[in-house]
Amino acid sequence: METTAQFSIPPGLTDLLEEFVVKCIQENPSDLVEFAADYFDMLRLGRKKKESKAGKESAASKPEKKETVEDKEEVQEPPKIPARGRRRAVAAEAYNPNENDTEVKCVVHPKTDEQLQRLKKSVENILLFKSCDRDQLKEILNAMFERKVSPEDEIIRQGADGDNFYVIDNGVFDVFIEKDGKELKVHTFKDEGSFGELALMYNCPRNATIIAKSEGSIWALDQSTFRRIVVGAAARRRQMYEALLENVPMLKELQAYERMNLADALETKIFDDGQCIIRQNDEADCMYFIEAGTVRVTVSDKEISRLTKGAYFGEVALVTKNPRSASVFAEGEAKCAVLNVDAFERLLGPCMDIMKRNITHYEEQRKALGLE
């Protein structure tokens, strides 16, 4: 007899906890409770600042979907998923993002074009994959394997050891937790979603049971690949951005934890030689920090400056809430970290006075060039 649901998961809870777990793994705090208190206090403060601004929501960045699976690496058969009630020992150590992964053999499960397209669609909104670059995402797609499920198939069992991370292709899946000797249904996935990451991140037992309630299909990623790429990518990404931000004079006004949050909000984009990054008079939706390369700033087709690594641009229109006052082009290949308007308003409040002073400097430059 099916258990009547007595709990419901609040909207956004899964994403919130995923982000917090990743930060815990990256920081490895000695006092988890104190770290959690500081983290959620800053999250609440950021929300209050955001709500006080006019801009509310901005469109989420679309992940790139260009890579195809190649069969150059070692091909392996899909691992067998443990049967109902079976437990398997896991002895994984905490992942060190600075370890050398060059000796690791990549796992590859060949897929048809049809399978690959379904898989790409299933993972395009998975938060945990946002930190991965194109090569890492390609390796993840290569390593994932498909499993068809039938009604009442048990995917994971509460208390069992973690082996795989799962992404739903299609189907209905119920989530149960055991409380006071009874299994209570707390959530239902329908044709989308992911689960199983917490046991792999923490190297701890599963915290829920998930059972298929219909015919369906799921994609699985083994623990070793998940930890090496997904957890490692998040840690390396933060280290890279923090190193970049430490060399931006304007950001000296930020506290260390504020720069940490800023680093987490950045996303890298690469621009080809001559490509227009910002066009004069367009609406503004982000600002940029240069990671590598050079960009050329022009006003009415007249070059006014060139910027290199560590410089930033695009903030003027966000501060003034006016259209772009200049165009910016890549001079050779340019690699930039992008901060969208929502994160800009939420995270760069302490730097606003500096940016306003810089705007005065820009206006003086324009006057000197006769560009009023």
pLDDT in single tens digits along all 372 residues of the chain: 444 445 556 666 766 776 777 677 656 666 777 778 777 877 776 666 555 554 544 444 444 444 443 444 444 545 544 433 333 333 334 445 455 555 567 889 999 999 999 999 999 888 778 767 788 889 899 999 999 999 999 999 999 999 999 999 999 999 999 888 888 999 999 999 999 988 887 778 998 999 999 999 999 999 888 888 887 766 777 788 888 888 888 787 778 778 888 887 888 889 999 999 999 999 999 999 999 999 999 998 899 899 999 898 998 888 888 899 899 999 999 999 999 888 888 888 777 777 776 666 666 655 655 555
Comparing CA positions, the residue from 246, 240, 245 lying closest to residue 287 is 245
Query: Where in the chain is CATH 2.60.120.10?
Result: 113-228, 248-369
pLDDT at 254: 79
Which segments are annotated as binding site for 3',5'-cyclic AMP? 197, 206, 315, 324
* Length of the chain as a residue count: 372
Q: Which residues are CB-contacts of 276 (< 8 A; sequence separation ≥ 6)? A: 327, 328, 329
* E strands in the chain: 145-149, 154-156, 164-170, 172-179, 182-190, 194-195, 209-212, 216-222, 267-271, 276-278, 286-299, 302-307, 312-313, 327-340
Q: Which residues are CB-contacts of 312 (< 8 A; sequence separation ≥ 6)? A: 248, 250, 287, 288, 289, 290
CA distance 52 to 345: 10
Geometric angle at alpha carbon 89, from 84 and 90, rounded to 5°: 115
Q: What share of the chain is helix, strand, coil (3-state, %, to 5)?
A: 35, 25, 40
C-alpha 315: how far from its chain's center? 23
Which segments are annotated as binding site? 197, 206, 315, 324
The CATH number for 113-228, chosen from 3.30.1330.200, 3.40.190.10, 3.90.25.10, 2.60.120.10, is 2.60.120.10
pTM for this model (two decimals): 0.48
pLDDT at 56: 47
The CATH number for 248-369, chosen from 1.10.10.10, 3.30.1360.200, 1.10.3720.10, 2.60.120.10, is 2.60.120.10
**Residue 364: exposed, middle, or buried by beta-carbon count in 10 A (0-12, 13-18, 19+)?**
exposed
CA distance 323 to 317: 6
pLDDT at 50: 54
